[in-house]
Structure 1
Amino acid sequence: MPSQTKPKKPNSHFRLCTFLFFTVPFTIPALLLIRASSYSSSTSAVFSCHDTTQPPWSGDLQTAQFAWNRLAFSLTNPPPKTLKIAVFSRKWPTGPNPGGMERHALTLHTVLARRGHRVHVFTSPLDPSHETNKNTNVSDKITNPTIHPHGDAEPGKWRYNKAWELYQEEDQKQPFDVVHSESVALPYWKAREVPNLAVTWHGIALESLHSSIYQDLIRKPGEPRSQSFNASLYSAVLPKILEEIRFFHNYAHHIAISDSCGEMLRDVYQIPEKRVHVILNGVDEHGFTSDEKLRSLFRSKLGLQENSAAIVLGAAGRLVKDKGHPLLFEAFSKLMETHSNVHLVVAGSGPWEQRYKKLGDKVTVLGSLDSNELKGFYNGIDIFVNPTLRPQGLDLTLMEAMLSGKPMMASRYPSIKRSVVVNDEFGFMFAPNVEALTAVMEVAVAEGAERLAERGRKCREYAAEMFTASKMALAYERLFLCIKEKRFCIYP
């Protein structure tokens, strides 16, 4: 290997980057596909929804390479041991529209606190204009996490060193049983000092590389590639992936939020299997349910009669490119040319908001919605569309829509295919391009509202078993108990 002090020839650097561009995105998925096929054949029979013919799984949970959400945990039984849990989160949600990572942290650790665990959250300063997590009475102190926002920064500005100092002060009073970091909130050079640490990865660099490729592939003919894309691909992506693979080993336990991410951590990042655990995200099962009254009310606001045969497609999230809105915009534009009984409702705000409004009265842009408004949105649509160009993590909107009884129309990525749309009855998957999305839209509209509702009922049954906040929290609880004492690693 040449010395780092010796400059590389520009053409050599270009050839290396070109080789990376064309080989990494395709060789890695091929490797995962081979492993996924063997995984699916060995586990699908055991974990099929409502399948009672197979014996329940048992053994060392540390060896389980499937999502822990598939296992049975009891919400009615109290925890066998009360834990003191430290949480490092860059932000703690106080406003009306938190990000996915913040929502995950709030949902998870609120449930754990209400189960009796003593949860301490170390985070950035809270926004005083939206602060809703102040503990004002004794019952709140028992049932909610204790928040430790560090000082010397603006609201939302994360300084891990300040949070670490607060953690050390609290740890000296009584040592924490387990420490949980939301992604790299706790840097790896600090993580080395914490043997009882578990980190949840909401996205990794290799998945980000795939996202950059998919976004570039939708460029129109003649449209130049952005300078930021070139700079990111050729000078930042490969070093970042290699750096991640090296420093990830400093974290004691890794929690992947999708089956495919777990495979990458084991096979590509080379994390020992016993240190990688798959726990899918969960959302409030009481907040997102099927409600006919909400459906009728929402559709009446769209101007649709009770017996209308119109098919309403819905999308939710930030209206930005990487969420796939260029695909949705063009595909629905084509759909309107051949169908008069279709409507698109978009919940969210961002640069694409004004473009959607140009499509006329068949498209409704709702802007950002709070949780109560989202309930009406999910109930009012016939099918949920997620055209994301980011094959990383698991979008919480997918789970919210499924719990609300809606079928899926989603990009065919391993994370979604293996963890969410695991059954053809749950909806439709498509390659992330306009032609493929338009084709599945045509099929869904042809099926009609009654058939889509049937698919939605099956989605809800599956989501109620896999994607609830309770199931997610119980899986984390068992992992944290396992980290504390090895006897809890044996299931059941």
Structure 2
Amino acid sequence: MERQNRLLCEGLARLGNEVHVITTGHPEGLEFLRKGEVAYHFLKGTPPGRYTTLFWQRSADKFQELHQNINFDLICSHSLGAFGYYRFGDKEREVPYTVVLQGTTLSDLHSIWIGVRQSPTFIEIAKFLYRLGRLIRYYLLCWRGFLSQASKIIAVSREIAETAIKEYGLVREKVVTIPNAVDMDVFKVSSQKRNYIRERYGIGEKEVLLLVAGRVEADKGMDLAVKALPEIVKKRENVKLMIVGKGSYYPNLSKIVSRLSLNDKVILCGYVKNDEMPDYINACDIFLNPTIRFEGFPLIIPEVMACGKPIIASRIGGIPSAVEDGRDGILVEPGSIKSLVDKIIELIDDQSLADKLSENGRRRAEMDFSQGRVVEQYLDVFDTCLRALDND
């Protein structure tokens, strides 16, 4: 959400719009920061990276303070970011607001439950119960009223749009779909980045490198890629799997690798900074996203497309909005190791298919997911909201 907000704000500012971001406390205590043409206002004393009642109260006050001098035209709320304006702000709400949905309450609950089923430990169950209570509270006290008063609701995928309409009882005409954006200047094809990572990890040029990246959680399905590897290696010995990321499921994943005697075939890289991710993506031959989580629109998919790599991903959540099966990627049934094995072998053996998926994916990233294209769509929505206000 942070990365999407940054790309959107920078793109809007580049086109001459004045953009201010009101956000949670800065880890180092900063209260104001200007990056390029975007002004960031950090609310000191609120927990960094978390929406809380205190944040909502203070964000409403900060908005009113800034509004007296700036005279804002519109608010764009990422998830419940601007809920404070609705709950504690001016009851007249003279400034219209839009809401960006990366997911919904039920889709989040479904994903959390999958994680518990995959790893039914005391910690996972406790996390589930805590998050269950929080999501129910948000649903009952926040979401329905907040969304009902929004001028427009922006869903990041068709699937999230349809789910939100049913779940929150929304008017269909109020909901639009705009995908997450990718920075095409950062994520791009680079043989230099490919060679650097492969040399660093001792991966031969003729070895096929599979890559999985993201938060290492039970519902991300990374264990499925590991469990698929023995069958793949039986048929194609020159294959290795690289896993980039860290999370609560990391120790379990490491144990699975050891139990299957795959230490020489699986490279666990741990946490990697986002600005280094293009290096790792370029190093791979096939990118895997075997998630069993109902995700809105995984940002990693357009990033991989922009780097010109073929994708094999689960047919779940908003992924079918990002990947057209057989054209710019391959979709498999979530949780199916056999399907994953079959498609990986097919792609290894059919270089022309791999090249087609790569080329089409790169083209689609440029046409549909680039920062410029996504910002244009947001501006169209914002203009619609402001025209409706003028007509009223």
TM band (smaller chain): 0.7 to 0.9
Q: What is the aligned partner in structure 2 of residue 189 from structure 1?
A: 87
Q: Secondary structure at the match of 2:364?
A: helix
What displacement does 1:156 show?
4.4
Provide TM-score, normalisation by structure 2: 0.84
Q: What is the aligned partner in structure 2 of residue 388 from structure 1?
A: 291
Q: Deviations over 1:343-388 (max 9, x none)?
A: 1111112344454463212111222223442111111111111122
Residue in structure 2 matching 1:453, options 352, 355, 365: 355
Is 1:151 aligned to residue 67 of structure 2? no
What is the 5 A alignment of 1:450-489? Answer: 451-486=353-388
Q: Say if 1:411 and 1:429, in contact at 8 Å, map to a contact too.
A: yes
For 1:294 and 1:128, how far apart are their aligned partners in 2?
Answer: 32
For 1:323 and 1:340, how far apart are their aligned partners in 2?
Answer: 26
Q: 1:335 to 1:200 in 2, by over 3 A?
A: same
Is 1:200 aligned to residue 97 of structure 2? no
Q: Say if 1:327 and 1:437, in contact at 8 Å, map to a contact too.
A: no
Is 1:412 aligned to residue 308 of structure 2? no
What displacement does 1:216 show?
5.4
RMSD (Å), alpha carbons? 3.2
Residue in structure 2 matching 1:281, options 168, 180, 197: 180
For 2:132 and 2:204, how far apart are their aligned partners in 1?
Answer: 54
Higher relative contact order (CA 8 A, sep 6+): 1
For 1:233 and 1:350, how far apart are their aligned partners in 2?
Answer: 17
What displacement does 1:452 show?
1.6
For 1:329 and 1:427, how far apart are their aligned partners in 2?
Answer: 20
Q: Say if 1:330 and 1:434, in contact at 8 Å, map to a contact too.
A: no
What displacement does 1:481 show?
1.9
Q: Say if 2:212 and 2:222, in contact at 8 Å, map to a contact too.
A: no
What is the 5 A alignment of 1:339-350? Answer: 339-350=236-247
Q: What is the aligned partner in structure 1 of residue 161 from structure 2?
A: 262
Q: 1:190 to 1:280 in 2, by over 3 A?
A: farther
Q: Secondary structure at the match of 1:483?
A: helix
What displacement does 1:455 show?
1.5
Q: What is the aligned partner in structure 2 of residue 398 from structure 1?
A: 301
What displacement does 1:152 show?
3.1
What displacement does 1:432 show?
1.9
Letter of the structure 1 residue corresponding to residue 233 of structure 2: M
Q: Secondary structure at the match of 2:168?
A: coil
Is 1:317 aligned to residue 220 of structure 2? no
For 1:111 and 1:433, how far apart are their aligned partners in 2?
Answer: 38
Is 1:119 aligned to residue 19 of structure 2? yes
Q: Deviations over 1:255-287 (max 9, x none)?
A: 101111111223442211231111111010111
Q: What is the aligned partner in structure 2 of residue 32 from structure 1?
A: none
What displacement does 1:165 show?
1.0
Q: Secondary structure at the match of 2:378?
A: helix
Is 1:374 aligned to residue 277 of structure 2? yes
Letter of the structure 2 residue corresponding to residue 147 of structure 1: Y
For 1:475 and 1:205, how far apart are their aligned partners in 2?
Answer: 25
For 1:398 and 1:113, how far apart are their aligned partners in 2?
Answer: 26
Q: Secondary structure at the match of 2:318?
A: helix
Is 1:162 aligned to residue 162 of structure 2? no
What is the 5 A alignment of 1:34-183? Answer: 101-128=1-28, 134-135=33-34, 143-153=36-46, 155-156=48-49, 158=51, 159-183=55-79
Q: Say if 1:335 and 1:441, in contact at 8 Å, map to a contact too.
A: no
Letter of the structure 2 residue corresponding to residue 296 of structure 1: N
Unpaired stretches in structure 2, ≥5 consecutive residues: none
For 2:149 and 2:179, how far apart are their aligned partners in 1?
Answer: 23
